[in-house]
Structure 1
C-alpha cells in the first residue's frame, strides 16, 4: 500500500534525460491532465492518469484531491545568502537616492554591514534565523535550497555559519546544499593586505571545511574591486583539490574575465551574468557550465537584466535562483523570479519552470533526487491555486502556491 495518492491534478514536469535542458529541449514540459502521483517512503512510485492509479492504489488511507490544480516539481533554489543577521532597508533607500552597489560597499555598507552583525551572533541564533526563513521558502514552493556562508569573512565566523547550516539541515525537512564563500568580500581588517586573506581562505579555511564536511561547494565573488579572475582561480582550484564542487559570482557589475574561467577550471555554474560577453557565453557552452540567473537582484538594483534569451539560444543550460539576501534581493519567492525571467529576460514560461526545477537541480548535483516528477525521485511537489503553470507569471504579485509537499509530507498549505 502506498503512503499517499494525489489525484485529479494537472501535472506539468520536465522529463530528465540525463543532462541539463538546453535549446529547444528547455521549452518542453510533459503534462498529464487529470493526473495522479503515488508516493511510498517519500519517493514517487507511480505516476499517470487518476483513473488508472486509483484502481491500483485505492486502498491507501491518504488521498489528496488536487481538484484539477496545477501540480509542479518543488522549486530548487540554487543560489541564496539566506543566513544573515538583520536587514539593510536603509541601504535600499540609499540606492533609490542614487548610490551604487559598490559605493555602498566601499562606505562600509553592503556585505560588510552584514559581517559586523553576524560576528556577534551565536550558532544557535543563526540556526533559528535560518529555520524561520526556511518556512517562508516553503510557502513559496521551494523544496531544495542552497545556502551560502560569506558574512563571517574570518575563520571563526565562516565556520560558525557553516555549522549553523549543518544544524539546520538536521532540524528541517528542507534539502540544503551548503556553499562556502569566504571570498565574498574583502574583510576590513585585510583591506590593504588582500593576498594574506586569500592565503587564509586557500590554506586554512578550505582544508578545514572539507575535512569536516561543512560544505559541498566553494564560491567566489569574482568582480572588479573584489576578487580578480586570477585570485578566483586559486581559490576555486583549492576547493576542487579538496573535493568541493565550485561555482562563482561572475559578470554582475563588470565583465573582467570571470565567466571565461569556465574553460580553465571545472565549474558547476556561473551566476549573475548581467554583463557577460560573447567570450563568456562561448566558455559556458564549450565547458557545459550552467548559467544561474538572478532576476530579482537586477530588479532590486534597477540594473539591466541578464539576457536569458541569448544564453538559451546559444546552447547554455540556464537555471534560476532568488539570490535571497538582506541587501540586493530581499525575496524568497521563486515564483517572483520566474515572473521576472519571463517578462524581463526573454524566457518562455516553460523555460522558466525548467530553469527553476530540473536545471537548478543539475546545478546542485541533485538531479537524480529532485527537479522533475518521475518514478524514483523524491515526492517533492507543489500545488498551485490555479490549473496551469502559466498563472505564475500571468497573475503577478501574489503567491500562487496552494500547498507544498516534501518527500510526500505536506509542509505548507495556504490558509493553514
Structure 2
C-alpha cells in the first residue's frame, strides 16, 4: 500500500520521453511511497492501486519541484545602500573606491559568525522555497580566504540539514581578488589551489567548484590550473563564462567536462559547439541581466541550433541579482531572453537538475525519483511564466511530505 495517491490533477512531468508539450498527463495520478514517486500516469491507469491517503487536487497542475541551480545565497550584510547610491548617480567605480562593491560583502561575510550567516541566509532560502524551489545550489565566494570559504559552505550545509530543501553546495574560490591580494594576484590563485580546494575536499563540504572567468575576474590560464587540481580532488566543474566578454570560458568548461557554463551573453559559435559536444548545460540568469541593465542577450537561437539545453536560475546575490522569486525568473526568461514557457519551465526543472548532476534524482516526475512536487492552481503550465511574480505554488511537497 502506497503512502499517498494524488488524483484529479494534471501533471507537467517535464519528461521529454512522453513526446508531448511539458510531458503533460491530463486527468492524471501520482503514487508516492517512502518519499519517492512509485507510479505516474493517467488516473484510470492507477485506479487499482491503494494508498493510505488519496488526495483529489481539484484539477490543479502538478510540476516537479523547482530547481534553482545558480545562487550565491550565503553572504554577510547586503548592498541596498549602494543600490540607492547608484540610482542617485554614483558609479560602481566610485562606490568601489569608497570601499563598497564586492569588497564590502567580503568584509561583512568574513566578520559574520557561522550562526549569523545561517540566520541571514535563512529568510532568503525560505523565500525561494515559498516560490516553489525544492533544490537549490549555494556557492561560496564572498570570503575569499580559507576560514571564510569553509564557513560559508558549512552554513550552506546547515541550511540543507535544517530546512526541507535539498542544498547543493559549490566552492567558488576564484570569484574575485581579495583586497589584501590586490598586488599579489598569483599568490591568491596559488592559495585557492593549494589550500582552499584541499581543505574543502577534506571536509566534503562541496561537490562542485566554480570560477569567474572574465576580464574583471580570472584568466583562462588561472582557471585551468584551478580546475586541474579540482578535478584531481574529485570535484565536478561549473563556470561563470562569457558574461561581459568572450574569454573562451565555455570551451574551457567543455574541455573539463563541466556540468554547466553560466551567464553566456557573449558566447560565440565556437563556444556553443564545444558545449554541445560536451553536453554542458547553458545556465541563463535573467535577474543579473535585468539588474545590470544589460542589452546584450545570451544567444538563445545559437544554443537552440546546437541543441544545447538551457537552464534558468535566480543568481541570487547581494550585488548584481538580488532576486528571490523563481517564478519571476521564469517570466523574465521568456520576456527578456525569448524562451518559450516550456523551455523556461524545463530550465528550472530537468535542465537545472542536469546542471547540478542530479538528473537521476530530481527534475522530472518519474517513477523512482524523489517526490519533490509543486501543486499550482492554474489552468495551464504556461501561466507559471505568464503571471509576473506569481507568488508560488498552492502546495509544495518535498520528499513526499507537504511543506
TM-score by length of 1: 0.92
The residue that corresponds to 1:22 in the other structure is none
Indicate the SS of the match to 1:266: coil
Distance in 1 of aligned mates of 2:344 and 2:402: 25
Identify unmatched segments of 5+ residues in structure 1. Answer: 18-24, 412-416
Indicate the SS of the match to 1:195: helix
* Counterpart mapping for 1:391-402 below 5 A: 391-402=383-394
For CA contacts below 8 A with separation 6 or more, give which structure has more relative contact order: 1
8 Å CA contact 1:300, 1:329 repeated in 2: yes
The residue that corresponds to 2:10 in the other structure is 10
Corresponding residue to 1:136 among 124, 127, 135: 127
* Counterpart mapping for 1:241-260 below 5 A: 241-260=232-251
Aligned pair 1:121/2:112, yes or no? yes
Shift of 1:203: 0.3
Distance in 1 of aligned mates of 2:197 and 2:233: 7
Shift of 1:132: 2.8
8 Å CA contact 1:10, 1:387 repeated in 2: no
Corresponding residue to 2:65 among 74, 79, 82: 74
Aligned pair 1:189/2:180, yes or no? yes
Distance in 1 of aligned mates of 2:394 and 2:343: 22
The residue that corresponds to 1:233 in the other structure is 224
User: More displaced, 310-319 or 267-276?
Assistant: 310-319
The residue that corresponds to 2:31 in the other structure is 38
1:55-84 CA distance string (max 9 Å, x none): 422xx3433322111111111111000011
Shift of 1:34: 1.4
Shift of 1:10: 1.1
8 Å CA contact 1:308, 1:341 repeated in 2: no
TM-score by length of 2: 0.94
Cα distance, 1:402–1:38 mapped onto 2, change above 3 Å: same
Aligned pair 1:344/2:336, yes or no? yes
1:187-243 CA distance string (max 9 Å, x none): 000001010000000001101111210111111111112211111111111111100
1:90-115 CA distance string (max 9 Å, x none): 22234435666666556532322111
The residue that corresponds to 1:271 in the other structure is 262
Indicate the SS of the match to 1:46: strand
8 Å CA contact 2:250, 2:274 repeated in 1: yes
The CA RMSD measured in Å over matched residues stands at 2.0
8 Å CA contact 2:11, 2:28 repeated in 1: yes
Indicate the SS of the match to 1:388: coil
Indicate the SS of the match to 2:395: strand
Cα distance, 1:315–1:94 mapped onto 2, change above 3 Å: farther
Distance in 2 of aligned mates of 1:95 and 1:309: 33
The residue that corresponds to 2:209 in the other structure is 218
8 Å CA contact 1:16, 1:372 repeated in 2: no
The residue that corresponds to 1:368 in the other structure is 360
8 Å CA contact 2:14, 2:22 repeated in 1: yes
